[in-house]
């Protein structure tokens, strides 16, 4: 029992360390924040920067229709409405982008943005940061304690601790975005609807 409590505490501490960095930056004159990938822990960044995992996450975001309504917003809506971290990062270009003749020294995400609803900013670092912000918020809320408590016992039956940590982070992502799939374990259907 003492070993179980120690493992639970270790996983909780790990989760809080990994999710300690991040958070959004206020955008002047807007109700929403914007998120930057470099603000998050290297361990989390490594997960979403891996193309194999990102394509799975991206397909789930596309399937969730997260950006469907925002694509139809007017410029006034962007000034008066709030957005989730995922919407702020994936459904619009960063606010700092200026699409004038001279775009030489802009955020790289400004060049990745496209008005095509199947592209938008899904390849942007800001979209990846929006995903990580959702994980961070879920973990920092009451979600983290529930997630690690439910998986701690499983750890004792796993031979590879990395599998345990991957499943723990997957549970946090599923809790935030309703994904039914582990982003770290290969499945035949990208969103786990097998």
Contact yes or no for 14/33 (Cβ under 8 A): no
pLDDT digits (tens, 9 = 90+) for 14-29: 888 888 888 899 999 8
Chain centroid to CA 184: how far?
A: 14
Among 55-59, 70-74, 79-83, the least confident range: 70-74
Element (H, E) at 33: strand 33-34
pLDDT digits (tens, 9 = 90+) for 118-142: 899 999 999 999 999 998 988 877 5
Tell me what pLDDT residue 179 has.
45
The answer to whether the predicted template modeling score (pTM) of the entire model surpasses 0.85 is no
**Does 2 score more than 90 pLDDT?**
no
Q: How far apart are CA 174 and CA 189, in angstroms?
A: 15
Contact yes or no for 106/143 (Cβ under 8 A): no
**Length of the chain as a residue count:** 194
Element (H, E) at 44: helix 42-49
Which of 168, 158, 157, 163 shows the shortest CA–CA distance to 186? 163
**Could you tell me the pLDDT band of residue 103, with boundaries at 50, 70 and 90?**
low
Return the bridge partners of 26, or none: 33
């Amino acid at each position: 029992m003492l070993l179980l409590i120690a493992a639970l505490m270790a996983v909780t501490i790990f989760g809080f360390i990994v999710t300690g960095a991040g958070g959004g930056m206020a955008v002047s004159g807007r109700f929403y924040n914007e998120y930057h990938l470099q603000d998050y822990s290297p361990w989390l960044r490594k997960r979403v920067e891996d193309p194999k995992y990102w394509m799975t996450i991206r397909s789930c975001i596309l399937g969730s229709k997260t950006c469907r309504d925002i694509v139809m917003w007017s410029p006034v809506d962007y000034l008066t409405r709030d957005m989730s971290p995922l919407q702020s990062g994936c459904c619009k270009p960063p606010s700092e982008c200026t699409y004038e003749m001279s775009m030489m020294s802009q955020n790289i995400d400004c060049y990745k943005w496209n008005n095509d609803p199947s592209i938008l900013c899904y390849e942007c670092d800001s979209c990846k940061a929006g995903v990580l912000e959702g994980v961070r918020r879920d973990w920092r809320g009451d979600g983290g304690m529930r997630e690690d408590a439910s998986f701690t016992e499983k750890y004792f039956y796993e031979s590879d601790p990395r599998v345990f940590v991957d499943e723990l982070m997957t549970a946090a992502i599923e809790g935030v975005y309703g994904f039914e799939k582990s982003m770290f374990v290969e499945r035949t259907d990208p969103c786990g609807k097998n």
